[in-house]
Structure 1
């Protein structure tokens, strides 16, 4: 139990800016095993967003409360996944071959593709969440609590089915780049899908469907362009899946 708790804290320490106990060790081999708790970390991120939203919406309009909730989740994660999305946009948009894509993605500077992609991603999530909260607060709460864990499960799924595209990489993402075992994938899956109980059956099915589409399409793109994935690819997949979940819930409302 102590080992699992340590792995959970390692995941928190790596994927967020939240403090962890001093006794937690960050050995590279442990970091690889800690990825099983990435969806569970999403619970914490989603709860933080919900807490800020519920506090803000008491005295502020819904659209401002949504912005503050988004800002809280970005602050907690240190824009970890948003940065991956921007880098992936730059690399896949500006690179002509595998080597160019990887080189661009590794560049710490953001280019036009990354800037435009990041702005559009944040705007789309903002509009989706404000529409979810147009009539009542519960849809926003449920969406945040579902989207953050489940979108991170999509990233874990890519880790389980693809090779790492930088075998000689020494970056901070490299130690995470290992295929999870069946047991580790089971833990991640349970943490990722359990929040679906907050949705009605139609919404849950729609959300699962869009996540499957995102995961399959992301895998196709990453294999074709890179022969595998990088840490930026995982961040990009998480961002697209998160947005797709919000849109999937909204789409079901058109049939009610």
Structure 2
């Protein structure tokens, strides 16, 4: 379970005890399981908030709780990725822009639109929102793991540089967590699972294609952005089911 704890350390601010550097190489296989934990925390806040507040405030509280748990790690990547990719500059300059801690206009707009769309989607899902949060957070991080391992990863010194090897034994926790998230979606929303998965895959593939075309590969910011957009694509796909 050290690899699972490493995944929680990497993706969240939850205290999980001391770890060794080698534990993080096995962490990606557990990213989806960590996503289920993050989604479950958001779902718990939604249930509590929905008992006393209107749906929009419950959704806002749930999203805020997940941002606090993760330290807005992937949302920061989303803003940086859009600042770099949207700059129109050559690849090297675009990557420098992504490393800049300051947020630009493209990043601000992307962050505001995506967070607003996420809250609106959760409000529209109503009582299905908790299941959608859990499943979306888990499956989008499974997709992030597959993107990381497929590469190409550009930064030799980046945060994901030590996690790009074969999954090995980490394939089974990834598969189990993804299957659990898919089963939860099927149980809650029936065949809404199909458009939800399609929305997730399309969002992540479009971003990956954009990054490879503009930069020649992937970075940690791109992977973070892919998780956020994949989760949003999952929610919007679920809502598209009649």
Question: In structure 2, how many angstroms separate the alpha carbons of the residues matched to 1:191 and 1:59?
Answer: 32
CA separation in 1, counterparts of 2:166 and 2:173?
10
CA distance in 1, matches of 2:217, 2:36: 27
Question: What's the offset of the Cα at 1:234?
Answer: 0.5
Residue 7 of structure 1, CA deviation: 1.1
Q: For the aligned residues, what is the CA RMSD?
A: 1.5
**TM-score, normalising length: structure 2:** 0.93
Shift, 1:95, TM fit: 4.1
Cα distance per residue 1:98-142 (max 9 Å; x no partner):
101110111111111111110001000011111111xxx2x1111
The aligned counterpart of 2:162 is 175
Q: 1:154 aligns with which of 143, 148, 151?
A: 143
Alignment partners' CA distance in 2, 1:181 and 1:67: 35
> For 1:226 and 1:40, how far apart are their aligned partners in 2?
30
The answer to whether the Cα contact below 8 Å between 1:159 and 1:179 also exists between their aligned partners in 2 is no
Query: Given the alignment of the two structures, is residue 14 of structure 1 paired with residue 37 of structure 2, yes or no?
Result: no
1:135-150 map, 5 Å: 137=127, 139-150=128-139
Match of 2:27 among 34, 41, 54: 34
Unpaired runs of 5+ in structure 2? none
Match of residue 243 from structure 1: 232
1 CA distance for matches of 2:100 and 2:114? 21
Q: Residues 20-169 of structure 1: matches in 2 within 5 Å?
A: 20-21=16-17, 24-27=18-21, 29-133=22-126, 137=127, 139-167=128-156, 169=157
Match of 1:198 among 176, 184, 190: 184
CA displacement at 1:188 relative to structure 2: 1.4
Q: TM-score, normalised by structure 1?
A: 0.88
CA positional deviation for 1:13 = 1.1
Distance 2:20 2:203 in 1: 31
Deviation at 1:241, TM superposition (A): 0.5
Corresponding residue SS for 1:94: coil
Secondary structure of 2:14 counterpart? coil
Name the CA shift for 1:185/1:219 in 2 (closer, same or farther; >3 Å).
Answer: farther
Q: Structure 1 residue 173: deviation in Å?
A: 4.0
Give the direction of change, closer, same or farther, for the CA distance of 1:159–1:179 in structure 2 (3 Å limit): farther
Name the counterpart of 1:187. 173
